[in-house]
Structure 1
Amino acid sequence: MENSWERPRIKIQKTKSEWIWDIVGYSFFSGSIIFLITIWGRLPEKVPGHYNAAGVVDRWGSKWELLILLGIGVFILLLMQTLEKFPEVHNYPQRLNKSNVEQFYLNSRKLINQLKNVCLVIFALIQYESISIALGWGNDFGKLFLPITIIGTGIPIVLGIMRQRKIK
């Protein structure tokens, strides 16, 4: 099985963990959309538009930029949902064969699922943070945001690679 065109398409049921990750990710992201709609009229014209690595606002922009943030989140959701649906196009080691293809597909799909949902949570938190700062509620995440993002995306990747290495 040298390339994705020769790989079989296998229907593998979604696991319980994938459903849980989806519930968490979609809940946070949907909640951020509802929150933005609810609070929109109270937002000032200028909201945080960018943060530096220390979590400090280094650019302010129009409140309409929050819609760009939502748009990027939706784009990532759709892209990763598509990748999740077609694990046969993912990159695999040469040891992929008929006896282990299902394990590889499932592991890869779980990794994409986790990353998709972590990204949705991160985008929801960025939006909440921007709204909180704009309304003067405070800066809840600040310096912790970059480490949380790196750890939140890094752990699923490292665990996915470790699980993949165990596949014979």
Structure 2
Amino acid sequence: MSSSWERPKLKIEKTKSEKIGDVIGYTVYFGSIALMIFMWNSLPDKVPAHYNALGEVDRWGSKTELLILPVIGALVGGLMQVIERFPHIHNYPERLNKENAREFYLASRKLTNQLKNIIFIIFALISFESIAVALDWGSPFGKWFLPILIVSVTIPIIYGFIKQRKIL
């Protein structure tokens, strides 16, 4: 790529899958916040604050610590939302050119969108797990949470890289 070539800033409408992903991600995220608000007065003073790799609670903390989860989710998800809007600044291989820029941008934006929504869902699930354990509803995910998290993040990344490799 020539150093004098400037990446075009293209207006690419969101795809149906991106819109559906946003609806799911935001609904689950805001649903977990609604659950937290609804259950707040029922929560005990001490709630799970940290889990080990087996999904076991290894630290208990004040229920106000639960507020950290939606805040971090909002910060990370919000940052991903901003990054998603500017695909021309993403990292691309040398073969990016005017002819394939649209395809590269769309693939990169879709990956960013998927990861953003996965992040929203992950923070929602951590909140739900902590509320469930604190209220003696059991541990819905337990030892499966970490493998589910790893797979849910890794699969879109691998798929996204494979898709980009096919772009000529």
State the TM-score bracket (shorter-chain normalisation). Answer: over 0.9
Is the 1:90–1:108 contact (alpha carbons within 8 Å) kept by the matching residues of 2?
yes
Q: Given the alignment of the two structures, is residue 126 of structure 1 paired with residue 126 of structure 2, yes or no?
A: yes
Deviation at 1:8, TM superposition (A): 1.2
> In structure 2, what is the equivalent of residue 40 of structure 1?
40
Aligned letter for 2:33? I
Identity of aligned residues (%): 60
Q: Write the mapping of 1:5-20 to structure 2, written as runs, cut at 5 A.
A: 6-20=6-20
Supply the distance in 2 between the matched residues of 1:103 and 1:66 (Cα, whole angstroms). Answer: 40
Distance 1:55 1:78 in 2: 27
Amino acid at match of 1:14: K
Question: How much has 1:6 moved relative to structure 2?
Answer: 1.9
Matches of 1:43 and 1:89, distance apart in 2 = 44
| 1:2/1:94 contact within 8 Å kept | no
Structure 1 regions of 5+ residues with no counterpart?
Answer: none
Aligned to 1:114: 114
Give 1:23's aligned residue.
23
What does residue 75 of structure 1 align with?
A: 75
CA contact (8 A) 1:43 1:131 kept: yes
1:104 aligns to 2:118 (yes or no): no
Q: 2:9, 2:47 → 1: CA distance?
A: 46
Query: TM-score, normalising length from structure 1?
Result: 0.97
- Aligned in 2, Cα 1:114/1:49: closer, same or farther, shift over 3 Å? same
Q: TM-score, normalization: structure 2?
A: 0.97
Q: CA deviation at 1:140?
A: 1.0
Q: Residue deviations 1:100-146, cap 9 Å, x none?
A: 00000000000000000011111111000000000111011011000
- Report the count of equivalent residues: 167
Residue number in structure 2 paired with 1:149: 149
Instruction: Give the SS at the match of 1:111.
Output: helix
Partner of 2:137: 137
For the residues of structure 2 that align with 1:89 and 1:15, how far apart are their CA atoms? Answer: 20
Shift of residue 88, structure 1, vs aligned partner: 0.7
Partner of 2:50: helix, strand, or coil?
A: strand
| Corresponding residue number in structure 2 for 1:165 | 165
SS at match of 1:64: helix
